[in-house]
Chain A
């Protein structure tokens, strides 16, 4: 195994261009190192370290967007003032990932590209309608996160491309949000189900916009359009949110079929969607 420590993004892209597919990139290593160890230490021929690249290890803002470098750790995101002020939903989701040690090393880019269906940050990013910047030596592409996934653990990234930036629109003042994670224990748990909701409503409580996403529910990440459509134009109410939850559960069964876990997930995903909407709309305090 050859370990590469490029000094800037250009060098990374050139290395990948020349070495793919016999190379892997590593940022925090919280997924890659574990999977290498599980395969009896079968290392890729080349390992390219992204961890110290300034270009993708920063967060900045434009008037409308927050732009997060893919190598930012979850812990850095949780504590960053721009995130806390403009997209607190992402801070909330990132705060619940793994353990403090995993959050110190694991990166948002890694969480997105590993493409596990239970990734906590991705649920929030889908609900936030995040866009991604994907780079190769030839071009920079902007793709919507919702179009990024092909199936579990598989994205549209080509061997010579890497994810560099995540772009998220700032939440408008008065927009409600919620992230709920259900695991088998209260920390260091893989999400059994997670749900993110973003809602804006009029002064009279009529829902103007709604974004819903759920993890460990669908094989491929997606917004829950049918449930969102049910909400828009209606007045916030527990019964309405329960209906949105039931639609989500039906969608899940539609997409995955009835599986061994369905008897549990069907009622619970509905409940969690309801709770997330109650929280996001201010009807239920945590």
Chain B
């Protein structure tokens, strides 16, 4: 039975909660905790002054465990309370009084870089500015017959993992501290918590609990919860548990970056791209979580999988007083893909081509050179996946039929849309790309596999165990995958960037191969045969000529009898990327994946209601380690992307989050998800275990533009600002509540 972080309890534990900021942007002049401390049952109240070590962390270390100089968004914690019950803790929070000097709020990221705008951080409001420059953009536009320019925007959205953040921290033996948490990246959490407590890493142990979803969301947001629990546990010398409610989670946690994109493309008479210029602003919110990396993926992929001699891209991440933004499935690609794929349909329209024709004309083939100057040396399967998606959906016929006046003027119009993408696999030139795994065959032949790659529900445990079973020639019945902790498995980097299978799987394969090697050596010696002639398969060890040597279990027993425990560590490290930040040139990722999607919709033109009726998703995954799980990723990606396309938006008004539970923050239900079909294409890649690449993020990253393009096919109107809500589809704009809801202001007190 799975145990989630909130399921863990210890005797004498206390309950922790935070005192939230009262203003999105204010100087903190004084924090008075004296009244809170007087409350019976309150065991500790902490402010930033009580943090023994580093209070700040992050890529640019400005995320505060506890707000110190200022509050920067309403999810900031100004104080921490530990009490005997959660009710007492919350009561204490209400008795903390803070003196502020209120500062102007920066809400619109497009205003953030203006000279007159107040600086949210000492270093200014610019988080990062990435550039890519290829060819001569001015010349490209000069040569162009058609030039199309368009603004786009995409909203902040919530990860909506089923399990909100939770952690249990407790003083451990030998002056150590242990934290059980739901953490997407235990190795980062480990460093942050040790630094905050001013303890060596060896005294801090982070234990991964079963996770109820993450989608990129349980990095800093969960680290903060774990770090706060740890601070309280050290202070009180008792176990402290913090469990976020859904509202806590929504208010505190980071979101997907909202983007404002200006795209300007030029092409020749036939639609061949000659110039692509992109100017993009990403709202980083109050702090710098993953903004430098998220926007880096955007800058690398902003021109899409299309050949073009002249490209200029600028992406700026900026601070505001909104919720900070960070990693979320797709990581900077869903936003640019919305713009890219709508632009592609506009070029098609301009040059009288179908969406398929224009993509086949401009799309990458083998050996193509990307906007960053990288020559693609793997199987470039873009046109393969596009063709399959179009054929399986009868795209060309339906697309033409839907363009009839009759359809486009009916109350409910049908539409079909197409999109494609390429995606850099794993971290790329972001940083060191290495993962570790341990394969431990027990004396009875049962097997433990562990890796620093976290299973958040995506099925990493199964895929990685399958890889070990395949190498050792045994069935999955023998396998048990252990959740990692930081004392058992070496730093594996984060479980992000769709790198679980390719990197973690690679590490497991290496570890399992080491074990297989040990077994072969012992058997070769005993039976006086060459170890190269031995094979592990079907639960047996046999020679290449098919002669049975012994069962796997007997081989294991023999190894232990010979003093050879079957335990091995594997490390997969790939260092084939390079990047020049100044010129925006380089081999950004060691390999790429390709996908194509088709959506069919029905648009109620009188209400703006969009129903997505059918969805076809084609992905080249290199090699499917587990077909059902690949399909699961694809279906989940379609569901999540449908929400991004037509309903999701994390609404903040003057920094105040308005959609803090699922009564108002809408994600698709089973009745909103289309009928889905997936097609898996396999072009094995030399970097991956058995040729496997990625699927987690590719499955999501073009769902939204596919649906938006289908809406265009149905109505003849493009949507440029996500989501395609009722109002956006009917009126071409969002309507924002400018007053408190009329009905709510009448609501009586309970």
**Residues of A near any B CB (own CB < 8 A):** 24, 32, 35-36, 39-42, 44, 116-118, 151-154, 182, 184-190, 192, 219, 256, 259-261, 263-264, 267-268, 271-272
Contact = CB atoms under 8 A, between A and B. Distances in A.
Nearest to B727: A264
Contacts of B647: 184-185
Contacts, number: 82
B726 interface: yes
Contacts of B746: 151-154, 219
A187 B743 contact: no
B737 interface: yes
Contact of A261 (B609, B725, B735, B748): B735
Given A184-B725, A267-B730, 20 more contacts: A36-B750, A152-B742, A152-B744, A152-B747, A153-B743, A153-B746, A154-B746, A184-B666, A185-B668, A186-B611, A187-B669, A188-B669, A189-B666, A260-B736, A260-B737, A260-B738, A260-B739, A264-B735, A268-B608, A272-B607
A115 B137 CA distance: 61
A260 B663 CA distance: 21
A268 B726 CA distance: 10
B470 interface: no
Contacts of B623: none
Contact of B670 (A36, A117, A118, A187): A187
Closest 4 CB pairs of A and B: A152-B743, A186-B671, A271-B606, A152-B746
B87 interface: yes
A76 to B, nearest CB: 22
A36 B749 CA distance: 10
Given A185-B668, A264-B731, A264-B735, A192 B750 contact: no
A95 B726 CA distance: 23
Contacts of B748: 153-154
A256 B739 CA distance: 13
A129 to B, nearest CB: 24
A10 B270 CA distance: 83
B672 interface: yes
A34 B606 CA distance: 34
Contact of A259 (B666, B725, B742, B747): B742
A190 B741 CA distance: 14
B90 interface: yes
Contacts of A263: 727, 731, 735
Contacts of A189: 666
B747 A186 contact: no
A219 B736 contact: no
A184 B668 CA distance: 10
Interface string B44-76: 000000000000000000000000000000000
Contacts of B730: 264, 267-268
A256 B666 contact: no
A185 B735 contact: no
Contacts of B90: 40
Nearest to B667: A185
Interface in B705-739: 725-727, 730-731, 735-739
B663 A190 contact: yes
Contacts of B738: 260
Contacts of B668: 185
Contacts of B737: 260-261
Nearest to A263: B731
B87 A187 contact: no
Nearest to A262: B735
A188 B665 CA distance: 11
Contact of B607 (A256, A261, A271): A271
B672 A186 contact: yes
* Interface core residue of B670, B739, B746 (most chain A CB under 10 Å): B746
A120 B606 CA distance: 21
Given A186-B611, A192-B726, A267 B606 contact: yes
Given A187-B670, A271-B607, A42 B731 contact: no
A271 B609 CA distance: 13
Nearest to B745: A152
B119 to A, nearest CB: 33
B745 to A, nearest CB: 8
Interface string B696-707: 000000000000
A267 B749 CA distance: 35
Contact of A260 (B608, B666, B731, B735): B735
